Structure 1
Amino acid sequence: MQGQTLERQWRVLRALPAHPKSTTIPDLLQYLQATATTGSIKGLTVRTLERDIQTLETAFGGAIAVNRAAKPYRVSWQGLARLDGGIRLTDAQALALVLLQMHMGDIVPASLHKGLQPFFTEARSRLAQGAGALAHWPDRVRVLERRRPGYGPQVASAIVRVVCEALFQNRMLTAHYRRMGEDEAAEYRLHPLGLVRAQGVYYLIATAWDYPDVRHYALHRMTRAVMEARTARRPPDFDLDAHVASGAFHIPLKATPLTLVLRVPAENVRYLQEAPLAADQAITEDGDFCIARARVTDSLDLRTWLLSQGAEIEVVKPVALRRWMVETLSRALRPYQKPVLAPRTGKRRPRATARHPAKRRPQ
């Protein structure tokens, strides 16, 4: 008798729909009777099924959700595990995992990536079975970074795996790193603090040896990386978000911020309104133009952006920055003010000889 009760409750448990879907006791009873008309299900009543749900609710706790406010009340399975040993995901959970796999790149440590594979497999299977909007969502969204045309720097996957693992386990890292402009790589003993992908380039944020300075190390300039057994030293006041927000990736040209004043055609000012240069940006009208003021860091990124705007933006102040814009744009214009030379074909003109004199142009 006890064996029949256990078998019946096991069948009830497997028949529960995954949240957010749910079912009523009468509908659940009808389903069980239609799929298993013999054995422990034969003769099952609504009252017996209600007692089974109460027993299972006590045994599994929050994994079974019972909405007793509904009449008749509704029941569903909220656990992540599927009762056949697999993984049970909702459509929303499956979509989130598929998008994570699409966009995470190599920033998940290898030791965790392997453990996530069953979830990724089940998530794609779940979406493939669906016919709603969620099933097609991964084919309709993409994330693009603003960077120059062409391919980003290539990073060895082994380097990324070791760096991520050292960061994950808070271990020191020995890296052979080639600084910009140098041909040979030197050995660095690094304390990893964070990993940032900016404009298609991976940067390890770290301190070196016993120095307190926080520096950036581009992963594509690493030729070798080995995780050490020693624990990395982490400054107690270091915060990755604060480090990024401080403009650390902007390559500042001056220590103190400046008040930038721009003159922008009125029809183009909406871009600055949608994406302000700073929190204190203020825009006023000036005839067919607008004047935008903002306190910003004078950085290489700022000047590159100003140059990229061409005639759409005029730098009014500071005067030194305006003078730099004039000089830079003038130098950029000089090659285009020269006559365009025909490209060389690579063929050499034959030399004149007594037998083959050089041809003369007609007068």
Structure 2
Amino acid sequence: MAVKELSQIERQLAILRRIPTEPQKVTVNDLIEYLESSHNMGNLSKRSIQRDMAMLERVFGVHVRTVGRENYYYFPQGSHISLKKMGPDLALGFLLMEKYTHSLLPEASLDALAPYFKEAKLALKNEKYKYADWEKRVAIYPKVYPLEPAKFNANHLLDIYKALLLNKQFKMNYTKKGGETKDYVVSAQGVVQQEQVSYLIATYEGQKAEGLIQFAIHRINDIEILDSSPKRVAGFDIREYLEQGGLDISLYDEQSIELIFNKSTAQHLKETPLAKDQSLTELKDGRVRVNATINITQSIKWWLLGFGDQVEVIKPKAFRNDMKMTVQGMMELYSQKSK
């Protein structure tokens, strides 16, 4: 095979790809051997590679450590080299990812993304883009009252992610709602964050009833990763699980719902429908009938109660009676004299 003589820029790009991140390091001799063996480059002098490294130190921030007469080259932890400048749109995407998905990403992923987050912040500080105050102008805000997030040990979430990635079971000590603690040997299936609480979706050894169990991660006291392989639920998909109401309580088998909203209240359902098959019918009294096919869950009940006297449940009949009993209970509660 003929020996290639590449241009200086081609050689320097090849060198950039070979520079490791600390604690690993390379010498000029290592780089010459790499270029000769992996890129079939010839006619390489030690002096020319040293000049290349001087330029790469200056332009790309390659670090050098001298031990005796030998120079060792490396990139510091958390550094990132990109030959294409990050634009403001991509930078904003990275920073929104950092802000809103931080608690869901494994630590290793966050470490790998850290240089991109850093580059994104620098990109948005560029006066040309006028994005420096982006945090004051972009937000995701829940419609329900934002409670303070449940406090949990970040190492426990990290251990759960490790078990998922390494395909291992783990043993955990868990505090139930009533205060009782219990040990479980768990096969993790996934992790979900619902508002201010993160949940482990799993099965456990000795489980009497079939199905997936939700464990609030902030109630986990201790985790020990085991060598045993987990028992995976066949065909499990976290998105399908959530769409089917896995993290909620289904109240009825029937999924056809009929509601009557005040006209002004029903307006937002034109823009954000309950379901794809939703239909709206204006009634003679000015109110709006809403029909849709949905999984009628505890969350749906809470959502409807939030509208107060602006909505009436018509069907299913059992759901209407349930709402009626809840409202009557509220009336009795508020009819009592406060203590």
Using structure 1 for the length normalisation, give the TM-score. Answer: 0.66
User: Given residue 240 of structure 2, which amino acid in structure 1 is its aligned partner?
Assistant: A
Write out aligned runs for 1:1-363 (5 A).
83-85=60-62, 86-88=80-82, 89-91=85-87, 92-181=89-178, 183-209=179-205, 213-254=211-252, 256-287=253-284, 288-339=286-337
Cα separation, 1, equivalents of 2:126 and 2:337 = 64
Distance 1:334-1:11 versus aligned 2 partners, 3 A rule: same
**Based on CA coordinates, which of the two structures has the bigger radius of gyration?**
1
- Answer yes or no: is the 8 Å Cα contact 1:87–1:119 preserved in 2: no
Letter in 2 for 1:128: K
1:218-276, CA deviations, whole angstroms, 9 ceiling, x for partnerless residues?
1011111122233323233111111111111221123x124222111222211222222
Unmatched runs of 5 consecutive residues or more in structure 1? 14-58, 60-81, 342-363
User: 1:332 deviation in Å?
Assistant: 0.7
Pairwise CA distance, 1:9: 7.2
What is the alpha-carbon distance in structure 2 between the residues aligned to residue 159 and residue 8 of structure 1? 47
Would you say the 8 A contact 1:110–1:165 is kept in 2? no
The number of residue pairs the alignment matches comes to 269
Q: Measured at CA, do residues 230 and 314 of structure 1 come closer, stay the same or move farther in structure 2, by a change above 3 Å?
A: same
Distance 1:95 1:329, change over 3 A: same
Paired with 1:136 and 1:84, the residues of 2 have a C-alpha distance of 28
Distance of 2:135 and 2:146 partners within structure 1:
25
Find the residue that maps to 2:169 and give its secondary structure.
strand
1:41 maps to what in 2? none
Q: CA deviation at 1:173?
A: 1.8
| AA partner of residue 262 (structure 1) | L
Say whether the 8 Å CA contact 1:195–1:203 is kept in structure 2: yes
Q: Deviations over 1:48-80 (max 9, x none)?
A: xxxxxxxxxxx9xxxxxxxxxxxxxxxxxxxxx
Q: Give secondary structure in 2 for the equivalent of 1:171.
A: coil
Q: Which residue of 2 aligns with 1:78?
A: none
The residue aligned with 1:29 is: none
**In structure 2, distance between residues paired with 1:131 and 1:285:** 51
- How far off is 1:310 after superposition? 0.4
Post-superposition Cα deviations, 1:176-220, rounded to whole Å, max 9, x if no partner, equal: 112222x22111111111111112110111121275622211101
- Summarize the Cα distance change of 1:317–1:115 in structure 2 as closer, same or farther, 3 Å threshold: closer
Alpha-carbon distance, 1:286 to partner:
0.7
**Distance apart, 1:155 and its partner CA:** 1.2
Q: Distance in 1 between matches of 2:245 and 2:10?
A: 60
> TM-score scaled by structure 2?
0.70
Partner-residue secondary structure (3-state), 1:126 = helix
CA apart distance, 1:289: 1.1
User: How many Å separate the matches in 2 of 1:8 and 1:304?
Assistant: 63
Is the contact made by 1:153 and 1:220 (CA closer than 8 Å) also made in structure 2? Answer: yes
1:195–1:204 CA contact under 8 A, matched in 2: yes
Separation in 2, partners of 1:283, 1:9: 64
Query: What code does the residue aligned with 1:245 have?
Result: E
**Greater alpha carbon shift after TM alignment, 274-283 vs 129-138:** 129-138
Secondary structure, in 3 states, of the residue corresponding to 1:159?
helix
